[in-house]
Chains A and B, each alone.
Chain A
Amino acid sequence: MDFLIDAEMGRRLAAAREWGQAEVRPVGREADRLGRPIPTNHPYFEKVLARGDARTRWRPGSRSAGSAPPRSGRSRSTVMALLLAEELAYWDRGVGVANPGPGLPEGNVIGAGTEEQKERFLGPFLEPDRPRWACFAMTEPGAGSDAAAIRTRARRDGDGWVLDGAKCFIGNASRADWLLVQATVDPNRGRAGQRAFFVEQGTPGLGGFKIEKKSGLKAYESTSFSLTECRVPAENLLGGERPRSDRPEGFKTAMRTFNAGRPVIAANSVGIGRAVLDEALAFARGHGLLGRDRVRDRLEHMKRRLRAARLMCLKAGWLAQQDNIVEASLSKAMAAQVGQEAATFGMELIGTVGARGDHLIEKLYRDVKAMDIVEGTGQIQRMIVARKLVGLPRG
């Protein structure tokens, strides 16, 4: 066993910290104060671009990049990625999602896309000339957790597909170059009948974008939109007409995005919780409260629980190559809860200062709630664990 964060990891974290403090935190608080997403032409995005953070990890020619990387080293790099995700969320989780780049759908495209699709849709993210976004649209007004119940239909029509339906809460949708839209091609086959389609921005029939007003995480847009007789060419079907047999089917591919994302959301929650803890500590010290048992008990509780949640999250990452379903789901369920606890205690600790509405802890209180909802709610995570643990039947 070794819990050491070595010098190399430490260096990368320090760089992330510096960037977070100088750029991420300020722009996140600005968006929160103004109550709207960071506009696409904000200078912050240019800086992200210049830093090389808006790029895809896909490389042309490397057929399986990302889907089956070399076995050794992978787990460690996942741990590093989680530590960085935690650090970024420490400075602002909403800004992390607002960052340009191929974002949520990248993993699916790398894993299930044809070579042509990777070239066409990820290519522009190799050396992006401007901030570019992509998004993954699964959730619908009528179906979230029960992703198999989505209603958006894709019909074959001549040499293309026609999509009809509505999606909601989709991160970065109105600014995305393309939207990877999950749809049902065969309603009789349930989840097995689902596929994903690239819908390029500006395609006729794609519209009705409405940016939702959220409780927190205001830095990025969560957007509803509709697809009305929206026609896309056959080449836009993820994985092509006849997916290779070794490629997972549509629904499984989509769920993989979420599976891999769970420890990341856990890391985000820990990052938010840590930010609360540090702010609360600074406040308590500044106001001479550290001698009070009630204050100290809260701080001790926050710190201990955050440590535990973080270790669970890192363990899930370390196990990335193996069956880590239990750890991944547990880490997300627990970290979201621990982050919420920290924010609640933080608010109590700073008292009426928190009610002013301009203290960081108050913002974090509003932000953290979403961590128990996105990419599989806390209840869904517990169901997944319970299936493994006690054979909880599906449905």
Chain B
Amino acid sequence: MAFDFERSEELSLLVRTARELAEQQLAPAQRDSERARGVADDLRRGFDSVGLSRLELPESLGGAGLGALARVLVNEELGAGDPGAALALDPAGVALYAVEELAGEGALGELIAPLLDEPGARALLALAPDGLDLGTERIEARLPWVAAARCDLLVLLDRRRAVVVREGLELEPVPGSGLRAAGASSLSVADAPVLARYEDEAGASRALARARLHTASLLLGVLRKASEYARAYAQERVAFGKPIAHHQALAFMLTDMHAAVELARLLVHEAAWWIDQRRDDAAACAACASAFVEVVEASRFIGPAGVQVLGGHGFMQDHPVEKHNREARALSLLLGGVDAAREDAGRVLAEEAAPVALSTAQGEGEWTS
């Protein structure tokens, strides 16, 4: 296949479905969901009825068997609607990746698939905190924050392996800064027996890469929404005799916000393509890590800028931009945050064969006038 930015029919349809759900259901309810620290049942029914919770589940397990590209396209829409709700509505979450990549379809059917029939269930994935040894029979750990009010299954992941824990999990509510629609708790794992342990270094990298991509694409959606909301507002709001968008300082800021979203999206899409290719794991993992870093860096700018464009109105909870700013921060702290991703992308880069230094190239052509 030649280089092509065109989406397939199937993916376009999927995006439309996700966008409708996000715009018509998730977004209008976002403040209620945030207050309630959970999503209402009708949202859940809507989500399930279009099959979004089984997007990447293999067809053999009753899923749609779609790949990473479908995931990031859908996630961008859901993130634009309400990223907290997107997490709350997907029982498998990114834990699916760890089970699938390290343990395979059998374990997926056993551990993850049943959760999809249980309204409100949540499987969680976390990187093993520094110093935690996943080789032991029982696990003792504390996670300061998870975006959940419930945890049916916890997968802890390090560079080489994943362990699954189901007992000994205790959640305690915390106020939460962003993503409150998914709940906010600290999670303690107290002397928990290991239900399963899977060792596979390549699988662990792929699982982490896919999880990063999942998070990056939700964050991308938040940033797109913040940017679009600000742009629309700026074209309506008048100051000094014209729409504020037509003052060059703001026009450029809105342009930069837009550009940051567009660029980040391209990296996200390319990374998804690498994952779906299953050709070169190192390239795929580096691409996912880079995409994550790019989206987080964009969020450092777009989060506050979205508020800024609305001026004082942006600081009030009547508009969603202050929420976008909080959600963006919270999402960017997941999975070890931007530092861990930068580290991984950098490691792959350092291991690549050194390129030919172009400064020494002489050129062989003849100049004619």
Using a CB–CB distance below 8 Å, which chain A residues touch chain B? 33, 139, 142-146, 149, 168-169, 212-216, 222, 294-295, 340, 344, 347-348, 351-358, 362, 365-366, 369-370, 372-374, 377-379, 382-383, 395
Contact = CB atoms under 8 A, between A and B. Distances in A.
Contact of A149 (B147, B239, B318): B239
A357 B177 contact: yes
B339 A382 contact: no
A33 B322 CA distance: 17
Interface residues of B, number: 46
Given A355-B179, A377-B311, 11 more contacts: A214-B317, A214-B322, A215-B317, A348-B333, A351-B337, A352-B144, A365-B177, A369-B308, A372-B304, A379-B253, A382-B249
Closest 10 CB pairs of A and B: A357-B175, A215-B322, A146-B239, A213-B317, A357-B177, A357-B176, A356-B174, A352-B145, A356-B145, A355-B330
A29 to B, nearest CB: 11
Contacts of A379: 247, 249-250, 253, 308
B176 A374 contact: no
Interface string B325-338: 11001101110111
Contacts of B307: 215, 369, 373
B178 interface: yes
B166 interface: no
A169 B304 contact: no
Interface string B178-214: 1110001010000000000000000000000000000
B333 A378 contact: no
Contact of B174 (A139, A145, A358, A369): A358
Nearest to B185: A356
B316 A212 contact: yes
A64 B9 CA distance: 76
Given A144-B239, A378-B308, A354 B300 contact: no
A216 B304 CA distance: 13
Interface string B232-270: 000000111100000101100100000000000000000
Interface in B282-309: 300, 303-304, 307-308
B312 A144 contact: yes
Given A348-B333, A373-B308, A356 B176 contact: yes
B334 A352 contact: yes
B316 A213 contact: yes
B312 A139 contact: yes
Q: Would you call the interface of chain B mostly helix, strand, loop, or mixed?
A: helix
Contact of A353 (B145, B239, B311, B338): B145
B315 A352 contact: no
A388 B317 CA distance: 36
B145 A355 contact: yes
B342 interface: yes
B329 A354 contact: yes
Nearest to A382: B249
Contacts of B342: 294
Interface in B140-186: 143-145, 147, 174-180, 184, 186
A216 to B, nearest CB: 8
Contact of B333 (A214, A351, A382): A351
Contact of A355 (B240, B249, B329): B329
Contacts of A212: 316-318
B176 A355 contact: yes
A294 B176 CA distance: 26
A395 B241 contact: yes
A215 B339 contact: no
B229 to A, nearest CB: 15
B311 A373 contact: yes
B302 to A, nearest CB: 12
B144 A377 contact: no
